[in-house]
Amino acid sequence: MRPLWASWFSSVESLLAFHYLDYHNAFTLAANYSSQLAKDADESGSDDYFDIVALSARQAMGATTFAGTPENPILFIKEISSNGNFQTIDVIFPAFPFFLYTNPRWLTYMLEPLIEHMLSGQYPNKYAMHDLGYHFPNATGHADGRDEYMPVEECGNILIMGLAIVNSLTYDTDEAAGSIWASMGSQKFDANPATSAFSLNNLEERDGIFGLDDSWGGSTKGVKQAQKWVNRSYRLWKQWTGYLVEFSLEPLNQRMQTSRFNPSFADLKQYPPTTSPAPFDSRPTWLSRASSVLKPWKASPTSSTTKPTQDISRQVLARPPIQPATNRNSRTSQKPTSPNGKNTASHATAPTPN
């Protein structure tokens, strides 16, 4: 698969030359992003929080690679300090607040390879797959269905991220947007069914800087984008929700959560179930099914009074080994501030062709 930058540049040399000469614009955009990040981090009340999020932002972007085309961009993300796994859902999940804050479309680009692969029928299981393969950068998938067995977490994670994306698209005023940069740019909607709902075909120039994204969502455009994105893969969202309805309370013998470093558990009543209504379907039946799982969990004495029976250190040592499988360039940027003090540029995604 070609890198995304190859859609605008014919060679590595032309790419490097552009970015060398574009230093001033890149610095302006990056500096304004850091300034806004510091302001927002300061509102947490912690003097040290900015250092944490500034480092985390760089780490999150450092693990990614843009590929694909402007019509259908992809953002690959590799695990760090583990193995060759990439596009791991439970690794995308802890990083998704950064992408939701910085540029939500990048989150959709990360989910796209997983959705595309599962829509193709090459993954045999009914739950969300753990990752796209063990052999980065080769997306070999798991045709045998023997990826790391964490279906409750992976289904819960991807449903939460999908709902967050849709919610971030649907706002009525600029002030209500989840990101301060979301409403900047054109409200033109790309209705072409062959392109992504978040294609890069409408890059703009603002304040003398070209390659800036158009707007993210909005009252009319956002609903259309959400519908276009969801409709293509709706059967998967319903399928994953159905799995949680059936298995989140008693999930058989599977890994529970990466964040808790737990081995397999046959009964997770000591942890909150991850079942939630299907994110794009408000029919009462889904709410009823979610409630039917939540009620017995609340009634269980282990839900709040009993700790896991195993010590955490023992749990880590007892973690089961990973089963081996047998068988789409961007620059992070920020809106520069115009003379009137208003941020008028959005995230730069692609440079001027050279």
- Residue 205 confidence (pLDDT): 93
Cis peptide before 336 (omega within 30 of 0): no
Spacing of C-alpha 86 from chain mean position:
13
Question: Quick one: DSSP state of residue 225?
Answer: H
Q: Which of 26-30, 161-165, 264-268, 296-300 comes out lowest in average pLDDT?
A: 264-268
Mean pLDDT of the chain: 79
Q: Is the CB of residue 38 less than 8 Å from the CB of residue 50? A: yes
Q: Where are the domains of the chain?
A: 4-317
The whole-number average pLDDT for the span 223-233 is 95
Backbone angles phi, psi at 77, to 5 degrees: -135, 130
- Residue 330 confidence (pLDDT): 35
Q: Is the CB of residue 338 less than 8 Å from the CB of residue 344? A: yes
Half-sphere exposure of 348 (CA within 13 A, CB side): 27
3-state class percentages of the chain: helix first, strand second, coil last, to nearest 5: 45, 10, 50
Question: Quick one: DSSP state of residue 340?
Answer: T
Q: Using DSSP, state whether 65 is helix, strand or coil.
A: strand
pLDDT band at 354 (very low <50, low <70, confident <90, very high): very low
Spacing of C-alpha 179 from chain mean position:
15
Give 224's contacts (C-beta < 8 A, 6+ positions apart). Answer: 189, 191
The whole-number average pLDDT for the span 277-288 is 56
- Residue 79 confidence (pLDDT): 84
**Chain length of the chain:** 354
- The more confident residue out of 135 and 196 is 196
d(CA 267, CA 247) in angstroms, rounded, equals: 10
Residue with tokens 């159905």: 242
Whether this prediction's pTM lies above 0.75 is answered by yes
pLDDT band at 151 (very low <50, low <70, confident <90, very high): very high
Run of H or E including 235: helix 221-247
d(CA 231, CA 228) in angstroms, rounded, equals: 6
Backbone angles phi, psi at 345, to 5 degrees: -110, 155
